[in-house]
Amino acid sequence: MSAVAEVEPAGGRNGTGRKGRDNRRPSGGSDKLTIYLLLLPSLLPIMVLSVFPLVRGMYLGFTDARAGRNTDISFTGLDNYRELLGDELFWNSFQVGLIWAVGVTVLQFVLALGLALLLNQRLRFRGVARVLAVVPWAMPPVVVGILWKLVYHPDAGLLNEFFYRIGAEGLRTNWLGDFSTALPAVIVVGVWAGMPQTTVVLLAGLQGVPPELHEAAAVDGASSWHRFRTVTLPALAPVIVAITSLDFIWNFNSFGLVYVLTAGGPGGKTMLPMLFAYEEAFRYGNYGYAAALGNVMVVIIVALLAVYLRRRLREAN
């Protein structure tokens, strides 16, 4: 035993004592340098494509930048924002954006919850139904817009053709060109395109509800509606808050789908804030004014995210 003890390394049989490990470990500065070098290939695209344009856009919001070559850019302070506060077109786009975001978000949630409850049942071909329910989500917004423009076409559209076939010709109209129907028609498309993602999230939440709770409520004589109200909804509450908050932010910040459908028309009835900023920048060349509008939208989105994250942290604690 004494001979073994004499030849045994100080750090133990494997030589992994504290002193041995410290001697072989690289210095802290070398570790940090290695980490930074490994992160550099992924950080460079983020800096070039995200951070720099964001900072540049925020700066342009305080200037009189306009389109054109060799144009002088002057710092104007808060002039763009003062003009923005008195711009009726901006406030109209903001109102349209709120109507669009609230309408699409609420309808998405109601319809997605019903579809998720249906897909959570033991149905025949349930797997096929779940795949088909996600198809609109997989389609690009431009393709969705083109398809629905064909549906809403005033002369050869499927919707007007349907009304003609059933003898309800009085219901035929130019859905995307009429002042009274343009925004509701666009909201329908937004709901159709965004409902699958809400359905998937709610379906995942439903599958996480313990079946023992429903069995216990059924044994106590609770009806299906009572079990849904007292068991399902409380269990889904965190998921509902999360997906509706994110849906509202995504919808309020949307651009491509409405641009393809109406480009903000007719008469600004579907002019969302992002469309308004796009028009100011690329149609009228008011880069500084459009950047100021973008800054306002960033502040609004950050505020909404702060409210969402605060609620999530409160629920976690």
Query: Average pLDDT by consecutive 10-residue portion of the chain (317 residues)?
Result: 44 45 53 84 85 89 88 90 92 93 95 92 82 86 93 91 89 92 95 92 90 82 85 88 88 91 91 92 92 90 82 71
What's the pLDDT score for residue 265? 86
Domains of the chain: 2-60 (no CATH), 79-316 (1.10.3720.10)
What's the pLDDT score for residue 145? 93
What's the pLDDT score for residue 91? 92
Name the DSSP class of 78. T
What's the pLDDT score for residue 28? 55
What's the pLDDT score for residue 156? 85
The backbone torsions φ and ψ at residue 304, rounded to the nearest 5 degrees and listed phi first, read -65, -40
SS3 state at 58: helix
Phi-psi group of 106: left, alpha or beta (phi > 0 → left; psi -120 to 50 → alpha; rest → beta): alpha
What's the pLDDT score for residue 275? 93
CB burial class (10 A; 0-12, 13-18, 19+) of residue 152? buried
Beta bridge partners of 63: 75
**For the whole model, what pTM was predicted?**
0.80
Q: Give the helix ranges, DSSP H, for 139-272.
A: 141-152, 158-165, 182-207, 211-219, 224-227, 233-252, 256-261
What's the pLDDT score for residue 10? 46
Name the DSSP class of 169. G
